[in-house]
Amino acid sequence: DTSGEKVAQINALSVIQLGDYTFGRPSRITATARLGQGKVIDIEREVKLGGSIHSKGVMILSSYLANRYAKDQPISLSASLVFEQSYGFVEGDSASAAELCALLSALSDVPIKQNFSVTGSVNQYGEIQTIGGVNEKIEGFFDICDSRGLTGDQAVVIPQTNVKHLMLRADVREAVEKDKFTIYSAQTIDQLMGLLTGREAGVKDAAGHYPEGSINHLVQKRIDELNTLRKTFADDYRKGKRDFSRKNERTR
């Protein structure tokens, strides 16, 4: 999709190399989030279509969520990430920023603009890191948008540290100069989510609370709800076992 908004769906960018020829290919990433035990499932890895570097990037997402939203408590979350309609091998961590954004969208229920495409690696602290093939990735998304008709709101977001590596085709530069296509850069996940959703990510105040209605507030609220729900299930399970034991004692 290159228009509209979707919850837990994002356009990511990858590079394919065939001999001496390299080109970018946009991919759709989707995420789900539900009650669980703090694990983010890499579906590509589970079906042996994902490499170890890609899986490392997905594992970093679990660390980011726990460090940011559940430092003093367990994180009762289970999530899944997948490249939709991808039937080849997936390797590298340059989609980890996009995967994290899809996951935050799933938790906050805030939609992501589909006229954007994203590339970038992310670390445990939410900082966007340098990736390879930045020019080919931008051109790959541009080609799809151009074939459908440039609307002026289509854009790619790249790591700030990759700006110095830009050396784009003449038609892409021309479209940017005429405001028909845009290239943004971001340094943090908060900046990235702000661009993709048009909503403030939110910074903690002195009391440790995020602004009401911000993305981080909604994510924190959902994770707290999942933790409460898990505790309720655990209490009900223990109560059920006690009641069952008492019933058996009376029966005997």
Run of H or E including 189: helix 189-197
Contacts for 196 with CB less than 8 Å, ≥ 6 apart: 10, 101, 112, 113, 116, 118, 157
Q: HSE (CB half, 13 Å, CA atoms) of 176?
A: 16
Cβ distance 134 to 166 under 8 Å?
yes
Q: Is 137 a catalytic residue?
A: yes
* Active-site choice (62, 108, 137, 214): 137
Q: Tell me how far apart the alpha carbons of residues 159 and 188 are, in angstroms, rounded to a whole number.
A: 9
Q: Is 94 a catalytic residue?
A: yes
Cβ distance 196 to 10 under 8 Å?
yes
Nearest to 203 by CA among 143, 142, 126: 126
* Active-site choice (94, 96, 105, 185): 94
Residues with a catalytic annotation lie at 94, 137
